[in-house]
């Protein structure tokens, strides 16, 4: 049985739901809500979910449906329920899994069946989508195991290897290019065009924050005022593609990041303006007081910024010349990581600051930079040794 407990703390009165969960060591999981109504609705949904779990799940599509409901209403393990946009992506993957046409029951599933499913994915979908779908299938089987609906995990060891980090490394601007971007942000904020200057009164501190914190766009677009500290920022929430504010995608994404004084001063100065008024207490809200959509920020701020900084490139696609930005919106995040690597930041510290759930993600994304630095250090060591011996 789930129970609701009233809590009073620094953030005011909240309501905590405690409910049974086989996926935790204590046998219980917890979820906090701002209102009693939300807590009661969550408890009622849990009751419906428990009825589904207690029923006999016979087929793989039934297991897929249960997994989707767990993701939406409860959250897997100690995670929060997924956002609507994430759930939409999960539903797409679920449709692909169900379209395979499983002719066996859930309890008959063996490793050869999973291997055949992997082969089907690789033949019919891109490597990226195949990996995503197989990852969700792993998650489904793991959830069924944790809830006692399966006794084995036939998907263990069946994976699709990522492309090498050397095949498609992330594009990272150099220091001169980042200086050009920041100078372009300054120019736009001081434009003689009042409309442009007004817009860049907000966009300029966002660009400076992105370069000096490595935050994801969906994180700084939803940055609340109470997470701006004296020496940095906290990451406690993010905005999804639909504009819904919720927790970060993973627990590891909740983090504290030291930020430069220049960026902090800009942020705090903007927080004192009338434009910063928001129904969600956000630092960079829209004129309606809601969180900015990342896609809107990309088109209204990033593209004009790249053009102002003269960092556009031409590409010929199907005989047509396309002019596009040289770097993506994530490039300032990658630049921040590259600066940490140049300063020889400990790999675990790098993982924590970037908010990666697994250190393998950090290594897959930035391993080529680490390898380059190690090669440079080895060359310097050889040169020093040669000098000593000479």
DSSP letter at 99 equals T
Contacts of 219 (CB under 8 A, 6+ apart): 235, 237, 238, 248, 253, 355
Query: How deeply is 53 buried, as exposed, middle or buried, from its count of CB atoms within 10 A (0-12, 13-18, 19+)?
Result: middle
Q: What is the pTM of this model?
A: 0.71
Q: What is the dihedral of CA 11, 13, 18, 23, to 10 degrees?
A: -20
- Dihedral of the CA atoms 190, 194, 195, 200 (nearest 10)? 20
In 3-state terms, what secondary structure has residue 5? strand
What is the token pair recorded at 290?
Answer: 């809601």
Return the structure tokens found at 11. Answer: 């953030």
For 159-196, give the secondary structure using H, E and C.
CCCCCCCCCCCCCCCCHHHHHHHHHHHHHHHCCCCHHH
Phi, psi of 145 (to 5 degrees): -65, -45
Rounded-to-integer distance, Cα 270 and Cα 205, Å: 8
Contact 237, 83 (CB under 8 A): no
Q: How far apart are CA 183 and CA 172, in angstroms?
A: 18
312-317 and 320-325 strand pairing: antiparallel
Q: Count of residues for the chain?
A: 390
Instruction: Kindly give the pairing relationship between strand 3-9 and strand 12-20.
Output: antiparallel
Q: Tell me phi and psi for residue 154, to 5 degrees.
A: -70, -10
How far is Cα 238 from Cα 262, in angstroms, rounded to an integer?
A: 23
Cα dihedral 123, 126, 132, 134, rounded to 10, equals: 10
Cβ(225)–Cβ(217) below 8 Å: no
In terms of Cα–Cα distance, which of 281, 280, 266 is closest to 201?
Answer: 266
Q: DSSP assignment, residue 240? A: -
User: Which of the 8 DSSP states describes residue 301?
Assistant: I
Separation of alpha carbons 47 and 36, rounded Å: 17
pLDDT 10s per residue in the chain (390 long)? Answer: 567 888 877 667 888 777 766 555 566 677 777 788 777 777 766 655 554 444 568 899 999 999 999 998 888 877 778 888 888 899 999 999 999 989 999 989 999 999 999 999 999 998 889 999 999 999 999 999 888 888 889 999 999 887 655 556 788 999 999 999 999 999 999 999 999 999 999 999 999 999 999 999 999 999 999 999 999 999 999 999 888 898 887 889 999 999 999 999 999 999 988 777 777 789 999 988 899 999 999 999 999 999 999 999 988 777 788 899 999 999 999 999 999 998 989 889 999 999 998 888 888 888 888 877 777 766 766 666 666 665
- What radius of gyration, in Å, describes the C-alpha atoms of the chain? 24
Q: Rounded CA gap, 101 and 92, in Å?
A: 16
């Amino acid at each position: 049985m789930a129970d609701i407990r009233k809590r009073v703390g620094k953030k005011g009165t909240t309501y905590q739901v405690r409910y049974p969960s086989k996926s935790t060591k204590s046998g219980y999981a917890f979820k906090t809500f701002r209102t009693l109504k939300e807590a009661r609705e969550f408890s009622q949904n849990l009751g419906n979910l428990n009825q589904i779990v207690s029923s006999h799940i016979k087929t793989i599509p039934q297991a897929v449906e249960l997994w989707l409901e767990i993701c939406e209403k409860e959250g897997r393990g100690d995670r929060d329920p997924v956002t609507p946009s994430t759930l939409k992506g999960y539903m797409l993957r679920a449709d692909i899994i169900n379209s395979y046409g499983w002719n066996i029951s859930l309890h008959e599933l063996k490793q050869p069946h999973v291997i055949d499913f992997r082969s089907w994915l690789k033949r019919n979908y891109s490597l990226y989508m195949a990996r995503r779908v197989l990852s969700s299938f792993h998650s489904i089987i793991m959830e069924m195991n944790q809830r006692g609906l399966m006794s084995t995990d036939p998907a263990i060891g069946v994976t699709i290897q990522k492309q090498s980090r050397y095949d498609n490394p992330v594009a990272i601007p150099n220091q001169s290019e980042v200086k050009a971007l920041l100078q372009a942000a300054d120019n736009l904020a001081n434009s003689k065009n009042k409309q442009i200057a007004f817009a860049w009164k907000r966009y300029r501190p966002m660009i400076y924050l992105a370069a000096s914190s490595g935050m994801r766009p969906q994180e700084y677009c939803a940055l609340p005022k109470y997470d701006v500290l004296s020496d940095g920022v906290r990451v406690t929430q993010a905005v999804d593609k639909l504009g819904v504010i919720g927790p970060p995608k993973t627990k590891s994404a909740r983090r504290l990041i030291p930020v430069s004084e220049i960026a902090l001063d800009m942020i705090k100065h903007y927080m004192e303006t009338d434009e910063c008024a928001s129904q969600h207490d956000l630092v960079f809200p829209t004129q309606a007081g809601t969180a900015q959509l990342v896609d809107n920020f990309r088109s209204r701020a990033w593209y004009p910024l790249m053009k102002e900084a003269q960092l556009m490139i031409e590409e010929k696609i199907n005989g047509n010349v396309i002019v596009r930005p040289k770097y993506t919106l994530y490039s300032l995040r990658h630049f921040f990581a590259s600066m940490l690597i140049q300063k020889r930041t400990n790999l675990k510290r790098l993982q924590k600051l970037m908010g990666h759930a697994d250190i393998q993600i950090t290594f897959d994304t930035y391993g080529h930079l680490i390898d380059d630095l190690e090669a440079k250090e080895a060359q310097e060591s050889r040169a020093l040794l040669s000098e000593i011996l000479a």
